[in-house]
């Protein structure tokens, strides 16, 4: 069970309680303690936060018009946001960034993700490979730089790190943001510190960022302290937050070490990096919809799919626009992540997997349609259903299932058009 699931299950028990008394509150905080400890959050921090919630819930009077469950959920939200550290707002301006970290932290991939992040915001970006010890480090960063569409400098067989930095700065002098990917070790040691100090002296970075893997949990705090003493880090990137059950432990430990979390990475794609927002992170854990992120992801997926936003006419849904939506959804990442943005975090695993399979099936069926069938609101007769099944290699049942989902989508859009509050929220998020 991950942290979010544990917290939501604990809160769900409050919903089922007819009376929320001292016994109910204590049972809830015990469940919350289990969820936090299983995510490798420090025991002292867990006791501190749960004792504070228990004391406040028992002593404070619930405001009129607010349900006990919502009142306690808000309290849990605020305390966890405080536990997980401050929100970071990156400055979009010219800078030099040095990345440091041990082997397995995801440093090289993070360098490319960070480069794409600034490149996408209008700052020409370049990467310098200063990892001269790990085999294939040069090839890996060069390939990632090409995928991110950013400039790259490295010397394949070079060993003089100071020379590589100087030559890299000269080659990338027209770039607004230059990121240096340093070498790693299996642990922080004297040689690594010497190497980082040499790069630091030659490169003169405005930001020195440590890359940590979320899987290490509480150890992240100790690593942050060690690197901070060695080179004076200005921030931290926590990687693999999408698949680690110990992410909460890593974030809370880094925050407790007085080091600032700058970014988290949430997937394998180069776009899967975001400035750290503790409020949004805790909101996702508790199942609170993130409309702003959903809109941003939709727009990026449309662009990646080569689909103009204006071409997806939501006023007149046809199989063609339905197909374009499916195509964009397939670019948005795993269905579980998409559902999480909508606050639907506890869907059964088989339901999520079924949804992903349906996307592929429906795309193949619509690809088999004629232009008229795609663009006109024609009735799909039995003979057409049979032909589409044969043409797509699917069953007639699959085709009817697609038609059924298409009609449900049409009803949902009509509901959306008539719901002023929902439209206003989406309009605000999209700005």
User: Which of 83, 109, 138 delimits the end of a domain?
Assistant: 83
Q: Which of 282, 311, 336 is the last residue of a domain?
A: 282
Residue 141 contacts residue 154 (beta carbons within 8 Å): yes
- Assess whether 211 and 275 both reside in one domain: yes
Q: How confident is the model at residue 418 (pLDDT cuts 50, 70, 90)?
A: low
Residue 153 predicted with pLDDT over 50? yes
Would residue 90 count as lying in a domain?
Answer: no
Give the orientation angle of helix 349-367 with respect to helix 382-392, to 10 degrees: 100
Of 3-12, 65-74, 226-235, 268-277, least confident by mean pLDDT is 65-74
Lowest mean pLDDT among 8-22, 296-310, 370-384: 296-310
Mean pLDDT is highest, among 50-59, 212-221, 360-369, 418-427, for 212-221
Banded model confidence at residue 9, pLDDT cuts 50, 70, 90 = confident
Which tens digit of pLDDT belongs to each residue from 85-103?
Answer: 889 999 999 999 999 999 9
Are the C-beta atoms of residues 361 and 394 closer than 8 Å to each other? Answer: yes
Task: Give a yes or no: residue 23 inside a domain.
Answer: yes
| Between 362 and 317, residue with greater pLDDT | 362
User: What's the sign of the alpha-carbon dihedral 241, 247, 252, 258?
Assistant: negative
- Write the pLDDT tens digit of every residue in 233-254: 999 999 998 877 888 899 999 9
- 28 occurs within a structural domain: yes
Same domain as 237, residue 141? yes
More confident residue, 417 or 235: 235
Residue 89 lies in a domain: no
Is residue 126 located within the same domain as residue 192?
yes
Among 16-25, 118-127, 224-233, 253-262, the range scoring the smallest mean pLDDT is: 16-25
Q: What range defines the domain where residue 54 resides?
A: 3-83
What is the structure's pLDDT at 422? 46
What b/e string do you get for 125-152 counting C-beta neighbours within 10 Å, with b at 16 or more?
bbbbbbbbbeeebbebbbebbeebebbb
Q: Of residues 180 and 157, which shows the higher confidence score? A: 180
Q: Which of residues 363 and 62 earns the better pLDDT score?
A: 363
The sheet with strand 95-100 has its strands ordered as: 151-153, 125-130, 177-182, 95-100, 207-213, 235-239, 261-265, 273-275
The enclosing domain of 369 has a CATH number of 1.10.260.30
Is 125 part of a structural domain of the chain?
yes
The answer to the question of residue 116 being in a domain is yes
Does 119 share its domain with 47? no
Question: What is the spatial distance between Cα 298 and Cα 411, in angstroms, rounded to a whole number?
Answer: 20
Q: In 48-150, which ranges are E strands?
A: 95-100, 125-130
User: Do residues 78 and 179 both lie within one domain?
Assistant: no
On whether both 223 and 326 belong to a single domain, the answer is: no
pLDDT band, residue 144 (cuts 50/70/90): very high
Q: Is 255 in the same domain as 301? A: no
**Same domain for 305 and 273:** no
Same domain assignment for residues 167 and 199: yes
* Total number of domains constituting the chain: 3
Question: pLDDT tens digits, residue range 275-295?
Answer: 999 988 888 787 765 445 554
88 is a domain residue:
no
- pLDDT number for residue 311: 46
- High-pLDDT (> 70) share of the chain, %: 77
């Amino acid at each position: 069970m991950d942290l979010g699931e544990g917290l939501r299950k604990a809160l769900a028990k409050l919903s089922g309680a007819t009376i929320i008394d001292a016994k109910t509150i204590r049972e809830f905080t015990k469940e919350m303690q289990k969820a936090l400890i299983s995510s490798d959050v420090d025991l002292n921090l867990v006791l501190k936060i749960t004792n504070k919630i228990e004391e406040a819930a028992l002593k404070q009077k619930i405001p009129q018009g607010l349900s006990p469950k919502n009142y306690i959920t808000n309290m849990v939200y605020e305390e966890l946001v405080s536990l997980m550290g401050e929100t970071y707002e990156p400055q979009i301006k010219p800078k030099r960034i040095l990345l440091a970290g041990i082997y397995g932290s995801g440093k090289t991939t993070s360098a490319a993700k960070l480069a794409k992040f600034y490149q996408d915001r209008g700052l020409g970006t370049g990467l310098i490979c200063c990892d001269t010890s790990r085999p294939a480090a040069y090839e890996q960063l060069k390939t990632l730089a090409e995928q991110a569409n950013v400039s790259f400098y490295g010397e394949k067989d070079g060993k003089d790190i100071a020379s590589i930095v100087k030559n890299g700065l000269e080659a990338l002098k027209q770039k607004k943001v230059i990121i240096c990917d340093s070498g790693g070790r299996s642990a922080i040691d004297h040689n690594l510190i010497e190497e980082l100090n040499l790069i630091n002296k030659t490169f003169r970075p405005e930001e020195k960022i440590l890359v940590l893997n979320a899987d290490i949990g509480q150890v992240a705090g100790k690593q942050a302290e060690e690197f901070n003493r060695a080179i004076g880090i200005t921030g931290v990137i926590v990687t693999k937050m999408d698949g680690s059950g110990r992410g909460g432990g890593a974030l809370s430990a880094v925050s407790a070490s007085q080091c600032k979390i700058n970014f988290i990475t949430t997937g394998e794609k180069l776009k899967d990096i975001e400035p750290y927002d503790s409020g949004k992170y805790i909101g996702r854990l508790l199942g609170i919809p993130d409309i702003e992120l959903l809109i941003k992801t939709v727009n990026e997926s449309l662009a990646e799919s080569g689909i103009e936003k204006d071409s997806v006419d939501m006023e007149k849904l046809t199989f063609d626009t339905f197909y374009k939506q499916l195509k964009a959804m397939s670019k948005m990442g795993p269905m579980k992540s998409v559902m999480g943005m909508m606050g639907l975090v506890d869907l059964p695993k088989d339901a999520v997997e079924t949804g992903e399979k349906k996307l592929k099936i429906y795309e193949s069926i619509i690809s088999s349609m004629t232009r008229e069938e795609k663009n006109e609101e024609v009735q799909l007769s039995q003979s057409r259903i049979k032909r589409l099944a044969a043409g797509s290699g699917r069953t007639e049942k699959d085709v009817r299932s697609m038609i059924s989902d298409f009609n449900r989508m049409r009803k949902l859009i009509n509901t959306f058009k008539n719901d002023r509050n929902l439209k206003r929220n989406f309009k605000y998020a999209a700005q």
